[in-house]
Amino acid sequence: MDLRVQKTRNSIFSAFIELRATKPIEKITVKELSAKANISKQTFYLHFKDIYDLSEYLENDAVSSLVADIPNPDFFITNSPEATRQLCKAALSQGNLFNILFPDDDRSYGVLTNKIEKKIKEIIFESHPELRNDIRENVIISLFIQGSVYTFMKYKDSNATEVTEILADIIKKITDK
């Protein structure tokens, strides 16, 4: 990518994150974002169709980054408690960006959990295509990912390590039966 294009995109990303940290997405305008990014509205529209398109791009990028930080996604099949630990650790490593892109509300956490589940399943099904249509395995993987991500995000500020271990312990109890 051309260096000028990358600098412009980085400026847009920084301005959006800064604005999003202080207000809901519905309140951010292209005009305001463009002024903060020091670009014209026309330049913004060369890169994104609207604020929601930009937000979607950043959300997907953050989720891809999180999933890339999970060393063994296959553990959701073979060692679910450890997969849960890896997932929580990866979520924690995203830092404040996740708090900004996915604020503490049910809608945001639903979007986050669905995106993470989809990405992890893509990886699992790539190496285990026979599981793609296995309803039992799909339900189990969905339950562990959706439940772990939602619960971790909801309670991580209390004590992330303790929440991670509680989740791993519960999943171990479920899988040991």
* Helix/strand/coil for 29: coil
Please say whether the beta carbons of 151 and 167 come within 8 A: yes
Query: What is the average per-residue pLDDT within 154-172?
Result: 95
**Which residue's entry shows tokens 């463009």?**
34
- Residue 1: the pLDDT is 66
pTM of the prediction? 0.89
In this model, does residue 168 exceed pLDDT 70? yes
Quote the mean pLDDT of the chain.
93
Tell me whether residue 157 is exposed, middle or buried, using C-beta atoms within 10 angstroms of its C-beta: 0 to 12, 13 to 18, 19 or more. Answer: exposed
Give the pLDDT band (50/70/90) at residue 98: confident
Between 1 and 112, the more confident residue is 112
Residue 66's pLDDT is: 94
Mean pLDDT, residues 20-44 = 96
The pLDDT-based confidence of 177 (bands split at 50, 70, 90) is low
Residue-wise burial string across 83-98, b where 16 or more C-beta atoms lie within 10 A, e elsewhere = bbbbbbbbbbebeebb
